[in-house]
Amino acid sequence: MATAVLDVIQEIRDVPVEAYEGPVHPDWCPGCGDYGVLKALQKALAYLQIDPSQVVVVSGIGCSSNLPGFIRAYGFHGLHGRALPVAEGIKLANPRLHVVVTGGDGDGYGIGMGHFIHAMRRNLDITYIVMNNQIYGLTTGQVSPTSMKGVRTKSTPYGNIEPPVNPIALALMSGATYVARGFSGDPNHLASLVAHGIRHRGFALIDVFSPCVTYNNVNTYAWFRQRVYRLEDEGHDPSDFARAVEKALEFGDRIPIGLFYEIEVETYEDLEPAYKRGIPVDQPLGLSPEEGARLVQAWM
C-alpha cells in the first residue's frame, strides 16, 4: 500500500487533462499554489477516467474556494465554511456522484471546523482537499488557524500568539478513513494522493501545502522544499494508526507529506436505511394511497 502512491506518480504525470478544463482561466495570483492543486485534481479525475458530468466540486469562500469555477465538472460555490454540509447533502441525495470538496484553511479549519470534524466521523464517501496556505488570502492576509506561532500578519502585527491546529492529527482522531498531505510543489505526488483519495471508499482528507505568494512570505515554496519529505520514500505503513499519529506530530525541520493513514470500513452510505428504496434522486415523488392510508391509520 505504501508504494501505491508512488506507483501512480509515473502514470499520472502525463495524463491529458483537457476534458477537465473549465470555462475560464483562474484569476489566482501568478505563482499561487492553488494552480498546482487544480492541475492535480484534473489529473486525478483524468487518471481515474471519471466523466466530468459525474463529478460535483463543492467549495466555500476564499481564493482557493473559487476552484469549482475553473474545472469542468458540476460545481457548487457556497458560503464561507459551509462547503462540507452542502457536499454531504449532495452525496446523500445522489450517492452516485463523485463529490469533491475544495477550500482553504480558514474555510475548513476556522469557520467550518465543526462541520469538518462531524463530516469525518460520518465517513461519507467524499474527498476533501484543503489548500492550506496558512493565511487568509481572499481577505488580504490575516492570520489563519494553521498560521505558525509568532508570524506577523495584517491582523497579528505583533506576532501570532496562538498555536496552529494540526489538521492531520485532528483528522486521525476524528475518524477520517483516508488522511493525506500533499504539497503544490510536488504536483504529481499530490495528484496521486488525490486519485487515491477519490478512489477510497469513505471520507478522504488531503491537506495541501499550497503557498500564498502574495501574503505569506514565511511558508514559501523554498521553505517547504527544504523541509518536506515523502512518507512513501521512508516506507511508512499507512495501515499503522499509531505510527500515523506519530508522523502527524512531526512539524519542524522535517515535515512529512504523503498518505498518513488509510483504513477501509463501512461508509455512511452502506448504513443509510432509506437507500433500501433506492437512490433518493431516482425515486418517484409522492405517496401511494396505501402508504398514505397506513400513515394516517397511526393517528386513528
| Footprint (CB under 8 A) of another protein, residues 253-282 | 272-274, 276-278, 280-281
- What binding mask, one character per residue, do residues 179-218 give for ligand TPP by CB under 6 A, x or -? ----------------------------------------
Interaction partner, residue 89 (ligand TPP, another protein, none; CB < 5-8 Å by kind): another protein
**Distance of alpha carbon 297 from alpha carbon 300, whole angstroms:** 5
219 is a site residue for ligand TPP (CB under 6 A) = no
**Distance of alpha carbon 204 from alpha carbon 198, whole angstroms:** 7
Indicate the helix (H) or strand (E) that contains 169: helix 167-174
Identify whether the C-beta of residue 219 lies closer than 8 Å to the C-beta of residue 209.
yes
Q: Please state, as a whole number, how many other Cβ atoms lie within 10 Å of the Cβ of residue 79.
A: 15
Nearest alpha carbon to residue 223 among 170, 171, 179, 184: 184
- What nine digits make up the cell of 226? 527544504
**Distance of alpha carbon 66 from alpha carbon 47, whole angstroms:** 23
136 is a site residue for ligand TPP (CB under 6 A) = yes
Minimal distance in Å, beta carbon 87 to another protein? 6
Sign of CA dihedral 128, 129, 135, 137: negative
| Footprint (CB under 8 A) of another protein, residues 73-112 | 73-79, 81-82, 85-94, 96-97
Amino acid making up residue 97: L
131 is a site residue for ligand TPP (CB under 6 A) = yes
Which residue number, 48 or 111, has a Cβ lying nearer to ligand TPP? 111
Number of residues that bind ligand TPP (CB under 6 A): 17
Say which residues have a Cβ less than 8 Å from residue 273's Cβ, sequence separation at least 6: none
Dmax over Cα atoms in the chain, in whole Å?
73
Half-sphere exposure for 3 (CA within 13 Å, toward CB): 1
* Selected binder of ligand TPP within 33, 36, 52, 104 (CB under 6 A): 104
Minimal distance in Å, beta carbon 136 to ligand TPP? 4
**Distance of alpha carbon 259 from alpha carbon 244, whole angstroms:** 9
Interaction partner, residue 104 (ligand TPP, another protein, none; CB < 5-8 Å by kind): ligand TPP
62 is a site residue for ligand TPP (CB under 6 A) = yes
Minimal distance in Å, beta carbon 177 to ligand TPP? 24
Binding site for ligand TPP (CB under 6 A): 61-64, 80, 104-107, 131, 133, 135-139, 144
Binding site for another protein (CB under 8 A): 23-24, 27, 51-54, 56-58, 61, 66, 68-70, 72-79, 81-82, 85-94, 96-97, 114-115, 118, 272-274, 276-278, 280-281, 283, 285-289, 291-293, 295-296, 299-300
